[in-house]
Structure 1
Amino acid sequence: MKNLYDVMQLLKRYGTVIYTADYSADLGLIEEEIKELYRLQFITAKEYATAMLILRHKKSEYDKK
C-alpha cells in the first residue's frame, strides 16, 4: 500500500465502500473499518500499520488546509 486509494481497495476486498461526501468523515470511517479488520484478524499487522500511517498522513494534510 502506498496511498489512500490502496487502503480503499483493501476495504473493497472485504466488501466495504466508504463515501459520504465529507472527506474528514470518510477518513474516520476508513480508520474504524481498518481497526475492525485487524481486530478480527482479516489483515496482517503490517497491513494495519501501513494503512494507519497513510490515514494519519492524509488527516494531517487535510487539517493543514
Structure 2
Amino acid sequence: MKTLYDVMQLLKNFGTIIYTGDRQADLDLMEEEIKELYKQQFISAKEFSTALLILRQRRNEK
C-alpha cells in the first residue's frame, strides 16, 4: 500500500466507499473506518499503520 488510492481500495474491499466532495472530510472518515477495521481485527497492524501514515501525509499536503 503506497497511495491514497490503495487505501480507498482496501476500504472498498470491506464495502466502504467514501466520497463527500470535501477532501478533508473524506480523509477524516477514511481514518475512522481504518481505525474501526483494525479494532475489529479485519486488517493487520502493518496495514493499519501504513494506511494511517498515508492518510496523514495526504492531510498535511494542503
Shorter-chain TM-score: which interval?
over 0.9
- Which of the two has higher C-alpha Rg? 1
Gaps of 5+ in 2: none
Gaps of 5+ in 1: none
CA shift, 1:36, in A, is 0.1
Q: Percent identity?
A: 68
Q: What is the Cα-based RMSD across aligned positions, in Å?
A: 0.3
CA shift, 1:32, in A, is 0.1
**May I ask how many residue pairs the two structures share in their alignment?**
62
Give the whole-Å Cα distance in 2 for the aligned partners of 1:16 and 1:8: 8
| 1:44 lines up with 2:31 in the alignment | no
CA shift, 1:26, in A, is 0.1
Question: TM-score, with normalisation over the residues of structure 1?
Answer: 0.94
